[in-house]
Amino acid sequence: MSTSDAAATAPRTLRAGRWDRLLGSESTTGWLFVSPAVLVIGLFGVAPIVWSIVLSFQSNDLVTPATWVGMANYKALLKDPMFAASVRRTIVYTLLFVPIVTVAALAVAVALNRRLRGMRFYRTAVFAPVVTSTVATAIMFNWLLDPDFGIVNALLVKLGLPAQGFFQSPSQALYCIVVMTVWGWLGFAVIIYLAALQGVPLELMEAAAIDGATRWRAFRRVQLPLLGPATLFLVIWLSINALQLFDEIYVTTRGGPLSATTVVVYYLYQQAFQLFEAGYATAIAYVLFLGILLLTVVQLLIGRKFVYYRS
């Protein structure tokens, strides 16, 4: 069929659709579809990131005109003993919180991943704290651990042990925060592990059983390695949240007693909204961001070495 034939048989075609081509084009539709997202994320996500870089180079109390101070905020940070102490506390907290949640969640998840009487109750009990707000959690634990009238001290006394100061003791407050946040996060971690355990094919455990492995060895050699990706995700996710700890501290101790629970974000909050050092606070935020980024990259690198992915 030649071209001239084709043209000849369609003598009066209606030329349609210049507008359709423009309005209906994927480019126009695409931008229309993303425009709400671009607007909101641009205004409240991207612009603030840039702005806060500028802020961190300023001395700015958000009221009087700002002055450019260059790297002064960052230099001051390096020499600020209060900041160093807050970093130390954050690291201690993270090093306790992340492993405890991960290991405890693994044990509970393995226990929950079977058919037992009362499983619904167990699961609901473990998951319920996940939807409880950090503020409510903090209020509950404040009362449980009240040195004078709290139930925990009452139990300790009954067991013949001395009553403790808990949140009011500078040497104990941070550990109480650990206990409280472990309670709040355990359910989330259990859910992640349970989902991962569901993904381990039954045949694999059976194959291990046929090969003569004991239950423990089958778990250790077959199931555990397959939980690697979930563990890596959990450790990274828990670490990111641990480094950003704030709510529970604000409600229970307000950084006290004697600054014993002033972690990085609480220190940042004080600088920004109590001392009105917005520039300095933003510099802290950027250092925190850097720390989170660094830790995540390191964890990913270590993970790549040890975690086995089934593709």
Partner 1 sequence: MILDKVRKEFPGKPPMVALEGLDLTIADGELLILVGPSGCGKTTALRCVAGLEQPTSGRVVIGDREVQDLPSRKRDVAMVFQNYALYPHLTVYGNLAFGLKEHHVPKPDIDRRVREMAKMLGIDRLLDRRPAQLSGGQSQRVAMGRALVREPQVFLLDEPLSNLDAKLRGQMRSEILQMQRRVGVTSLYVTHDQAEAMTLGDRIAVINGGVLQQLGTPEEVFRRPRNAFVAAFMGTPSMNLLRGTAEDGTVSAGDLRVTAAWVANGPVIVGFRPESLAPAEEAPGVPRLEMVVDVVEELGNETLVYGDVAGEIATVTIDATLPAPLEGSRARVAARLKGFSEVRRGDRLQLAVRDESMHLFDAATGEALAARARS
Partner 2 sequence: MSYVAVERADTLGAAGVSGTAPLQGPETRRRRPSGWHLLLVPVALLMIFPFVWLIITSASTLAETRVFPPTLPAGFPVTWIQNLVHNYREAWTQAPFGRWVLNTTIVTFTVVIGNLAFCSLAGYALARLRFFGRTALFLVILATLMVPFQVVMIPVLLICKYLGMVDTLAALVVPNLVTPFGIFLLRQFFKTLPVEIEEAARIDGATRLGTLVKVLLPSMAAPLATVGIMTMLWSWNDFLWPLIAITSQDNMTLQLGLSSFVGSHVTNWPVLMAGTVMTQIPMLLIFLVAQRWFVQSFASSGVKG
Residue 99 binding result from partner 1, partner 2, none, given CB thresholds of 5 to 8 Å by partner type: none
Residue 249 binding result from partner 1, partner 2, none, given CB thresholds of 5 to 8 Å by partner type: none
Q: How far is the CB of 4 from partner 1 (least distance, A)?
A: 10
Q: How far is the CB of 242 from partner 2 (least distance, A)?
A: 12
Stretch that binds partner 1, among 4-12, 158-166, 195-203, 255-263 (CB under 8 A): 4-12
Residue 133 binding result from partner 2, partner 1, none, given CB thresholds of 5 to 8 Å by partner type: partner 2
Q: Kindly write down the DSSP assignment for every residue of 178-226, as one continuous string.
A: HHHHHHHHHHHHHHHHHHHHHTS-HHHHHHHHHTT--HHHHIIIIIHHH
Closest CA to 127 of 179, 193, 178: 193
Residue 66 binding result from partner 1, partner 2, none, given CB thresholds of 5 to 8 Å by partner type: none
Q: Nearer to partner 1 by C-beta: 26 or 148?
A: 26
The C-alpha atoms of residue 40 and residue 37 are separated, in whole angstroms, by: 5
The two structure tokens encoding residue 230: 């979930």
CB count within 10 Å of CB 163 equals 13
Name the 3-class secondary structure at 206: helix
Q: Nearer to partner 2 by C-beta: 175 or 237?
A: 237
Which phi and psi angles does 258 have, rounded to 5°? 55, 45
Q: What is the dihedral of CA 57, 59, 62, 66, to 10 degrees?
A: -90
Question: Binding to partner 1 (CB under 8 A): which residues in 18-37?
Answer: 18, 20-21, 24
Residues in contact with partner 1 by the rule CB under 8 A? 1-3, 5-7, 9-10, 12-18, 20-21, 24
